[in-house]
Chains A and B, each alone.
Chain A
């Protein structure tokens, strides 16, 4: 994972998913546990993560807590991601 991946995720979440668009987040900001984004947005996060990393993320291997910050999302992609077929 590169710093670009982190920046792209932060930008995407800031523009599309945050309940308060004026909130600034970084790689470690808790997102779901803090209520900044809704758990229903997990599907958008998984799809964006797959697009950015070019990996397939098997949902059954991921728990919501694994996606609570951008840093956790990227680590999860490394841990469970599989090359796209």
Chain B
């Protein structure tokens, strides 16, 4: 069961029982695709033949842009079978502007030095037009009816220390940060993870998570592949349009494990009609693991109350702290225990003195923190102050991580690698504290906005807004604010207009800014505040001071403060 007995991911796949179900892709009642491990392996071999026929060789990077499904997964493994290094990018949605999409794609494929970009037959021509003229990269439409279908008896010999794949974080800046991971690092992580969640042959995973994200790729594709466990999948869009189907699929297929970002709990509690909850049997689910956003007790309680009649186990909600740079999980709560530990700390002391001081849960200043669990084996965490000094128990500082399943570095970005990987320690930028060997993640990466599990760089938002002709160039601040109604953060923007008179067109400018941010970053925007010239607070260097401007906005707009508490 444990994957460390294999040296590479293809070796783990080839050892799977061929008749055991692997992927069930659910698109609708009459549109379900199921493949066994044997059939999946055959299709991956077929894809490797197809890629080889287009010149892909060992060591080449291959960019995959295809809808969520078996062809994408087979192409990913097919590239690996050649010793090539696949990287999945998000499939463009209809909000993407062709020129901007092409620009982003060109940047990513250049950084990856991609040999080939593989897209599906339905990929829009207008998004590829310029790329096909680029001599350095070939763009090919996937055709899984072509190529060698000869069964391969043995996996190819691949050095375990070679790169297995590259995973990206979201956002245009994030796309330049491809996390390069070796087979050895991935298998080591999967081994720790499988032990931590007590994975066994009877488990079945459910997922709506995108495969370009570490939760979807590692926990819901690589883990089942290497541990020979079935996975039932939906696309993220299908899930958003019909969230009840997640629970119906878990109920029907008797799924036992799923990973979700925090907002999912609230979304399921509020957006699924009571009549759609009837008949659900969620008793098979032994762990619903809250990951990739700060874990909120209120969201967990709301979900448990909404589905109290569906047979949920009392400890079904679990937590984890994970990131692409460590392949996936750093911590995991004890899935055999009573659920993630909760503590109450003094909110004022936490904010002003950056220290988690325990108080009674009835205290006026009490705020609840939910543990993300304990460290995985061979993983170390240090909490560091701003000057790098190690803090003791309860001290809140930056989370530094060292372990045996780390990134080799950011692909072709030694500058970024040197900034974040020092003496073997990865400086996460996240804020947290350790108490009784449990990790509490208190703040996200510096300034990063996490919208429904997607990491959004505020600089990306500010750049897009600055490009609007009515906005004073560079006088924009974007930040995240937790929206209790959504159960996740939303993007708040404050921007100065060039001329005071422009405020008369505020409604039109607002609409154009939403469209621009949506087109480029594919996320919705929360409140936008347009201000007259010289409103934004600048730093001594003449740049907008994000935190001071944020405080000024909060002091002027009571509606923002309500959501903050």
Contacts and interface: CB of A to CB of B under 8 A. Distances in A.
Contact of A19 (B28, B242, B514): B514
Given A22-B507, A59-B245, A64-B237, A35 B514 contact: yes
A55 interface: no
Interface size classification for chain B: 20 to 34
A62 B27 CA distance: 10
Nearest to B267: A40
Interface string A18-41: 011011000000001111111110
Contacts of B486: 40
Contacts of A36: 511, 514
A62 to B, nearest CB: 6
Given A22-B507, A43-B243, A37 B237 contact: no
B515 A35 contact: yes
B350 interface: no
B93 A64 contact: yes
A13 B512 CA distance: 19
Contacts of B518: 32-35
A63 interface: yes
B94 A40 contact: no
B139 interface: no
A21 B525 CA distance: 14
Given A35-B524, A64-B93, A58 B514 contact: no
B242 A64 contact: no
Contacts of A83: none
Contacts of B29: 58, 60
B238 interface: yes
B271 interface: yes
B524 A64 contact: no
B134 to A, nearest CB: 27
A60 B38 CA distance: 27
A20 B511 contact: yes
Contact of B94 (A46, A59, A60, A64): A64
B545 interface: no
Contacts of B525: 19, 35
Contacts of A20: 507, 510-511
B519 interface: yes
Interface string B271-291: 101000000000000000000
B381 interface: no
B26 interface: yes
Given A33-B94, A35-B524, A44 B271 contact: yes
Interface string A44-85: 101100000000001111111101100000000000000000
Of B241, B271, B519, B524, which is in contact with the most chain A CB atoms at under 10 Å from its CB? B241
